[in-house]
Amino acid sequence: MLPSLRQSSAIVTHGSRLHLSTVYHPQSDGQTERTNQMMEQLIRTASTDLAQWEDSLPLIEFAYNNAPSATTTQSPFFLNYGTDPTTPLSPPIENPAPRSQQFVENLRQSQQKAADAILKANHRGLVTGSNV
């Protein structure tokens, strides 16, 4: 499925890149395949009754989005919202209203750090002469 002109414009505006893969060729999209494997494992672990595995999805999604990535060292939740979600195990919030300008700057720096870590990890795996 090719992106529409509006989607392409939004992708360029946000500085993102679109990587298309082919159907029925999982080798071309290893990141998605790895994520799917991890999700299957989480579902098997979290679901007491595999016939009703979908009941576990909200908790699995929350856990996945709150777990730090090995590559970026930040959780997807933190990179999207600039803070980790409050859970029953979270320490009490000392200053619930941080200065917004500092908050935005910290979020921007975290996102840039994550992007740099992803690029570094991608380049580390590519060696001249290796089969890609």
Tens of pLDDT, residues 6-57:
777 777 777 777 777 777 776 777 778 888 888 899 888 888 888 888 888 8
Residue 129 lies in a domain: no
Q: Let me know whether 57 and 76 are in one domain.
A: no
Count up the domains in the chain and report the number. Answer: 2
Q: Let me know whether 77 and 120 are in one domain.
A: yes
Residue 23 lies in a domain: no
Which pLDDT score, from 0 to 100, does residue 68 have?
92
Predicted TM-score (pTM) of the model is 0.55
Burial of 130 from C-beta contacts in 10 A (0-12 / 13-18 / 19+): exposed
pLDDT of residue 75 exceeding 90: yes
Q: Which contacts qualify for 59-66: CB closer than 8 Å, 24 or more apart?
A: 64/38, 64/39
